[in-house]
Structure 1
Amino acid sequence: MASDQGARVTAAVLIIGDEILSGRTQDTNLRDIARYLGVHGVDVAEVRIVPDVIDEIATALNHLRGRYDYVVTTGGIGPTHDDITADAVAFAFGVELYEHPDILKMMQAKYELTPARRRMARIPTGGGLVQNPVNGPPGFTIGNVFVLAGVPQIMRGMLEDVGHRLKGGAVTVSRTVRVLGSGEGVIAAPLEAVAKAHPGMSLGSYPFFSPESFGSNLVLRGRDPDEVEATVGELIAALQAAGIANVAEVEG
């Protein structure tokens, strides 16, 4: 597990559910996970969406957990027949599921323990709990994998029990330079020149259009705050030297 504060620490997000793939439900969890992990010095490097099929979930999970420092999954830990994430994670790790006594005790205090509800008490052997401060049973963790709910409000609550377990790297610093009234064709050359001079940083152009104006937000991201600061100045100077006058750093 990576823990060097100067190194890049990475994560993958595995979004599970037929409803996401069909378009019936719009995923918002990725945004919240990426922002949360970024604050802890962990970069989301890959995202996959898989259907409610055990083999496909397990295959994707085994690939991702071997490639990245962490994997966060969302979805498929409810009480219905298609909530098979726990089964798939256990299959991926080659272990059995068992009913966690703490989950059973918590649910007994609130509900009648129907067979459907007991499904939510199952976690893989060797796993631990991810607390749920919002509603319902907890998620779980095993190895470098965190298994969270798909409901956004519940997922965000579970994330709060993930951060303290992460061995993050240097936090990425992000700055934005906005160019008004010039298209990407004009911006491209000076942006590329500055990007090549700083290969350890990420420089991207994100155009915008409205009835009143157009332009691009140029986003600079890096782990060395001093280099990011200096590069903002270099980029503004390069753009101005190319004849682009309406350029300035903005918040966000």
Structure 2
Amino acid sequence: MSDRIFTAALLIIGDEILSGRTQDANLAYLAKWLGVQGIRLKEVRVVSDDMNAIGAAVNALRAAHDYLFTTGGIGPTHDDITVDAIAAALGVPVIVHPDARAILAAHYGDQLTDARLRMARTPQGADLIENPRTKAPGIRVGNVFIMAGVPMITQGMLAALDGKLEGGAPVLSRTVAAWTQESRAAATLAAVEKANPGAQIGSYPFWREGRTGANFVIRSVDPAQLEVVAGALLSALTDLGLDPVDGEL
């Protein structure tokens, strides 16, 4: 485990996301998974199914972060162009990966069509990421991880990567909550955060039962600091005349 902060970006690929036909469900899951690995998700972009747009985003994000994850566009149809776009961006050809072909052949048998065989295509020099759900593997090439758009498939691929990426200390979190408007607690949150360098406090309002409340999520890589900041925040909110709770409302 390193003190260095490792960062990642997510590139969501697909016209269906930008059109509103499909809602992305991978972002939240990936962010939480990365936090457990000691990696901070720092940037997210969404691009259309366009070779140039994908390539430009891939090259920018892989240079700016330790890891880049992409989701979408690696299926069996003609408009799944992510592999082609990333290979072009990296300046390498697309090949039919022999191990991927063998995995698909074992899974589909004599039902391995040309369309399904497209899912064995990778940029040259890539490694495979196990897919326990549908067998068609994900792809790792350098610091780029090419994954499916279907959430359950992506989650299976991430499980296969558990503990295999270099990262720093896992980001821990703890929640303090109160029935209050955010504005009433804003100065208090800022003061507690300023007094505890290395900790971050996020404010997440909600409205329920005709009342306004907020969950204040403390994040730190240090469990001892998390305990100190939670205590300080509970005390400060009590001094404001609120009735905070240790936990989420």
Superposed pair shares fold, TM > 0.5:
yes
Shift of 1:208: 0.9
TM-score by length of 1: 0.93
Q: Select which of 199, 217, 222 maps to 2:220.
A: 222
Shift of 1:144: 0.6
AA of the residue aligned to 1:75: G
Does the residue aligned with 2:234 lie in a helix, a strand or coil?
A: helix
AA of the residue aligned to 1:176: T
Q: Residues 47-196 of structure 1: matches in 2 within 5 Å? A: 47-109=44-106, 110=108, 111-180=110-179, 182-196=180-194
AA of the residue aligned to 2:97: H
Task: For structure 2, list consecutive stretches of 5 or more residues without a partner in the other structure.
Answer: none
Does the residue aligned with 1:120 lie in a helix, a strand or coil?
A: helix
Question: Whole-Å Cα distance in 2 between the matches of residues 190 and 105 of structure 1?
Answer: 59
1:184-223 Cα shifts (integer Å, max 9, x gaps)? 2211121111122123221111111112432111111011
Q: Select which of 29, 40, 65 maps to 2:26.
A: 29
Total equivalences in the alignment: 247
Question: Whole-Å Cα distance in 2 between the matches of residues 172 and 113 of structure 1?
Answer: 43
- Are the equivalent residues in 1 in contact too, given 2:177–2:248 (CA < 8 A)? no
1:43-74 Cα shifts (integer Å, max 9, x gaps)? 11111111101111111111111111111111
Shift of 1:85: 0.6
Shift of 1:163: 2.3
Question: Whole-Å Cα distance in 2 between the matches of residues 241 and 171 of structure 1?
Answer: 32
Shift of 1:231: 0.9
1:80-112 Cα shifts (integer Å, max 9, x gaps)? 111001001111111111111122223233144
24-33 or 209-218, which deviates more: 209-218
- Are the equivalent residues in 2 in contact too, given 1:37–1:163 (CA < 8 A)? no
Q: Residues 200-219 of structure 1: matches in 2 within 5 Å? A: 200-219=198-217
AA of the residue aligned to 2:89: A
Question: Whole-Å Cα distance in 2 between the matches of residues 108 and 241 of structure 1?
Answer: 66
Question: Whole-Å Cα distance in 2 between the matches of residues 183 and 211 of structure 1?
Answer: 14
Question: Whole-Å Cα distance in 1 between the matches of residues 183 and 28 of structure 2?
Answer: 29
- Are the equivalent residues in 2 in contact too, given 1:42–1:171 (CA < 8 A)? yes
Does the residue aligned with 2:160 lie in a helix, a strand or coil?
A: coil
Shift of 1:242: 2.2
AA of the residue aligned to 1:184: E
AA of the residue aligned to 1:64: L
Shift of 1:11: 0.8
52-61 or 183-192, which deviates more: 183-192
AA of the residue aligned to 1:92: A
Question: Whole-Å Cα distance in 2 between the matches of residues 233 and 144 of structure 1?
Answer: 40
AA of the residue aligned to 2:232: E
- Are the equivalent residues in 2 in contact too, given 1:195–1:201 (CA < 8 A)? yes
Does the residue aligned with 2:173 lie in a helix, a strand or coil?
A: strand
- Are the equivalent residues in 1 in contact too, given 2:97–2:120 (CA < 8 A)? yes
Question: Whole-Å Cα distance in 1 between the matches of residues 104 and 184 of structure 2?
Answer: 61
Aligned-residue sequence identity (percent) comes to: 49
* CA-atom RMSD in angstroms: 1.5
Runs (4+) off by over 4 Å: none
